[in-house]
Amino acid sequence: MNENKEKGYGEEIQFTRSSVVVFFIFLFHIFRGFASGRGFKQRPPGAGGNHRKSEVDSYIAEASFLSKCIRCGQCGVVCPTQERGEETAKAIQFCKSGFDQGTPYIEPRKAACIMCVDKPCVVACPTDALDLGKLDIEQSIMGTAEIVSPKGCLAIQGLRCEVCYNRCPLIGDAIKLEKRVNRRTKVHIIYEPVVDSDVCTGCGICEQVCIADEAVIKVRQYYPPFKDPDFYKFKGSS
């Protein structure tokens, strides 16, 4: 008994090298799942310095943004009010609960970022939580659009919708149309919207305007292309 007790409390738990690797891979997957799924929050442009020219990864930018945001609400004040018929809405809203309570986020289905040319929210931010440097708003990364349920997309079914393409602020660049002949009718074209995630800013206008009951195109976390293939490799492993 005594021996056992001593063993339990006294000795350091010996991590094998492989168990550490497994643990990190586990963590990484949780992070990825967290980031690409429900956990993703679309932040205003330049959150945590996330833009085309920066090297930061989107979830590192998120952590950086959370540490720098002082929850002052200035970005929401300057965010322009959008007319929605009788209703009005602002793109920037604030988290009401949780560990990030008071931080700004965007819910595109309600009101997407309209990508103001003069970036009022970035200018208004007293810290550098929202930071685009001297870059244009087109260089910001709020996420990237993704057709999450292609089966529900009218354009892919051959119907002439393409509203996401038509309303995209970077029409033809961020969303492109791929053509193919409709195999059923043989005399119609199908315009399939395809997102170029290296151009898409993730403003969310496509998600807002999608005419399906639940948007089939949604803003998701953006992962930059792997520049360094060894980036995620555990350096210590042999």
Partner 1 sequence: MAISRRDFLKNTAAAVALSSLTGISTEAKTQLNEDKNELLKGTKTFKAPCRFCGTGCGVQIHTKEGKIIMTEGDPKAPVNMGLNCIKGYNLSKVLYGKERILYPEIRKNGKLERVSWDEAINYIADRYKKVLKEKGPKAVAIAGSGQWTIPEGYVAAKFMKAGLKSNNIDPNARYCMASAVAAFIRTFQADEPMGSYADFEHADVFVTWGANMAEMHPILFSRLVAQKETTGAILFDLTTRESRTSDEAESVLVFKPQTDLAILNAIANYIVANDLYDKKFVEKNTRIKMAQIEPGYGIDPISAPHLAAMENAQRGRKKAGAGTPMTFDQYKNFLATYTFDYASKISGVPADKIKKLAQAYADPSLKVMSLWTMGFNQHTRGVWCNHLIYNIHLLMGKISEPGNGPFSLTGQPSACGTAREVGTFAHKLPIGVVMKKAHREIAAKIWLGDAKKENEIPSKPGFHMTKMMREFERGNLDIMWVQCCNPFTASPNISRFRDRSLNKDSMLIVSDSYRTASTDLADVVLPAAMWVEKEGFYGNAERRTQHWFQATLPPGEAKEDMWHILAVAEKLGLGHMFPDKDDPQRVKKIFEEYRQFKTGSSKDLAPYEEYVKARGLCWPVVQDKKTGEWKETLWRYNAKYDPYASKALGGKKEGIVFYKAKGKKATMWCCPYEPASEVPDNDYPFWLCTGRVLEHWHTGSMTARIPALHRAVPYAKLEMHPEDAKKLGVKRGEKVKISSRRGTAFYEVDTHGRGRPQKGLVYVPFFDENNPINMLTLDHYDPISKEPDYKKCAVKIEKA
Q: Which residues bind partner 1 (CB under 8 A)?
A: 83-85, 114-118, 154, 158-163, 166-167, 169-172, 179-182, 184-189, 191, 208-209, 211, 213
Q: How far is the CB of 143 from partner 1 (least distance, A)?
A: 20
Nearest CB to partner 1, comparing residues 128 and 196: 196
Q: How far is the CB of 144 from partner 1 (least distance, A)?
A: 19
- Cα distances (angstroms) measured from residue 8 to each of 3, 4, 18, 30: 9, 6, 22, 29
| Nearest of 178, 179, 158, 176 to residue 168 by alpha carbon | 176
Nearest CB to partner 1, comparing residues 67 and 166: 166
Nearest CB to partner 1, comparing residues 69 and 137: 137
Encoding tokens for residue 57?
């990864």
Coil, strand, or helix at residue 181? strand
Q: How far is the CB of 110 from partner 1 (least distance, A)?
A: 10
- Cα distances (angstroms) measured from residue 168 to each of 24, 117, 121, 145, 158: 39, 15, 21, 11, 20
Q: How far is the CB of 193 from partner 1 (least distance, A)?
A: 13
Nearest CB to partner 1, comparing residues 21 and 116: 116
Look up residue 130 and give its DSSP letter.
B
